[in-house]
Structure 1
Amino acid sequence: MSTSASLSGLRLVVSAGPTYEDIDPVRFIGNRSSGKMGFAIAGAAARRGAQVVLVAGPVSLPTPADVQRVDVRSAAQMHEAVLAALPADAYIGAAAVADFAPAQAASSKIKKQAGQDSMTLTLVRTRDILADVADHPHRPRIVVGFAAETDHVEAYARGKLEKKRLDLIAANRVGMAGTGFESDDNALTVYAADGAVHALGPAAKTQLADALLDLIAQRLTE
């Protein structure tokens, strides 16, 4: 059991990793998310005594001890799995979910044609998992989002926090040396709906997971 604040008796749903949106049987739209942050959060929550459901995109990370893992591939599958895991005391959306997906995946490999210099791919919006959880009849007491941005980090994070009616959002700048998607380390700034701001890191993602859970545990016990 972690020496940090206990989460015993609480149920947490965590989403982690990327989503892959299929174009055809051999190609997809994806991103660089490794899933390490979400898996670290899930593992740390379980060590604190929480019942944890981890909805994982396509990553090869081992399942943390005492965590129920649900593997998905697409944004639509992740949306379904997260909502199916409710009710919960907290939802932590650490996954990097695709905002758009191909309107229709081809049933066989798309072949280039003679003289073809370009191809148009029609994309459609995916369901917004964070917004739908925050608006759900069984809304968790705490809904936490993540914002990985290349610029205007604070403005985009605060906008997402307000628009999606979140309780907390953990923001980081993509591209900082030694941190981010594929690294074991990160640096987060957590913005709260009540106006509080918490700077976490730079530190190992395992340490950041515990620091973030301290903030969540504090709000769950208020």
Structure 2
Amino acid sequence: MSMIDPPRAAVPDAVGKCRSAGIKVIMVTGDHPITAKAVAKGEEAGSQPLSCWCCDFLSRDAKACVIHGGELKDMTSEQLDDVLKHHTEIVFARTSPQQKLIIVEGCQRQGAIVAVTGDGVNDSPALKKADIGVAMGIAGSDVSKQAADMILLDDNHASIVTGVEEGMMQATAGFFTYFVILAENGFLPMDLLGVRVLWDDKYVNDPEDSYGQQWVNGAGGRPQIVPF
């Protein structure tokens, strides 16, 4: 008799979207390495399957690797950095709460913005250390929710990808509004580059904006416009 706890149906597509957006997905679990590897391979369906797997973190030939918590315990910071840098997909199995924290710190040393998802008490240190901690709203423990920055009300990892997509759109709208307001007040987008240097130069008393209007330092050093 065999049993399986497969990922949700939307997860493989979500992983594929993360890859296409430049987001690196790392699986960290307390399960046995064989189980973790099987689940990870299942999540590749619908995206770009990685046929080259290894269980040796020192090998750079494989695109993906499975690392046991016992191996991670003996790894130096330099070895962990090497793994995170040279492998496309990584699975950490049989990991402890402290090791999850070490993995997050390793990713942050690479200069990455790290988001961690979790639902248990053991995930709390990693959730708190991450730049963005995401807890599960239904199955998540109270401790994990308190440590997280964001809570998924539907416990669906695909919602994270949806949130990222809506955030890329919101950032565009924000920048558009930023440029429109500045343009309405005299500074077109093409004139913004380097304007701060000219603005703060105490030897320049009459900088001009995009419409030829002069700005001078008034009382208290605050710029005032002098229309023509």
Q: What TM-score, normalized to structure 2?
A: 0.38
Q: Which protein shows a greater Rg?
A: 2
Which structure carries more strand by proportion? 1
Q: What TM-score, normalized to structure 1?
A: 0.39
